[in-house]
Amino acid sequence: MLFKVFLNWTGGLAIALVLGFAPTPARAYQIDCAILLCLAGGWPASAECAHARAVFIRRITPWPIEPPLQIWRCPMNVSERTPLQSPIPKIWEASHQTSQMLGQVILAQMVEGGANIDISGLEFDFVRSIRVWDVRYYSHRERGRDDDCSESYNMRLGTYGTQGEFGWQRTTPAAAPQWVLPSRRCSSSNWRRGVGVEWEDHEGNHGYEWVAY
């Protein structure tokens, strides 16, 4: 698939070209563009993707907890001084293969300077798959004279909307996956605090990272 080949070409050189910079330290690239591409490709092995993944994880490391992907920081606007005719409509008409379409749309918009990207399509579900689990505290232990079990928690879940907007909502232990709360058993040692992020790449492969604090 074009997108997969694109991400793996010469160990990350394609990412450097798409992001519009020569691989020299003198000129910085837009990290959120790199996160978008590397996440979609399953974090392929390259220096650029290793750095992008490190920033992705660092952003959810307290404090403060930030959206791991800030797609609004990835510049995809047409330059007012040098307007270009965007090839995006032709790309969407020419291809019906999701992976090829995704790679060509991102590639064209970053290199050619197309209009703001529309990520509402199914091919960008990998963005909406990102979930941030903020466990302020969780405990399930015996309390009181009768040694009754008491489960207490303060948890919230961060998710992405249709166009990549990020928001928080309250959540419960029952909604959390096992890697967030390995056990809900009543125990004197059952205590948990930390932040975790999970995602799926463009092919649906799942990954996660947990940061205890």
Question: Mind listing the pLDDT tens digit for each residue in 26-45?
Answer: 334 588 988 998 999 899 98
DSSP character string of 97-115? -HHHHHHHHHHHHHHHT-S
Structure tokens at 23: 């691989």
pTM, rounded to two decimals: 0.73
What per-residue confidence (pLDDT) applies to 102? 57
Over pLDDT 70: what percentage of the chain? Answer: 64
pLDDT bin (cut points 50, 70, 90) of residue 207 is very high
Q: Is the dihedral of CA 169, 175, 180, 186 positive or negative?
A: positive
Q: How far apart (Å, rounded) are the C-alpha atoms in residues 25 and 138?
A: 43
Q: How far apart (Å, rounded) are the C-alpha atoms in residues 193 and 180?
A: 9
What per-residue confidence (pLDDT) applies to 165? 93
| pLDDT above 60 for 182 | yes
Alpha helices in the chain, H assignment, sequence order: 2-8, 13-18, 31-40, 47-58, 88-94, 98-112, 125-128
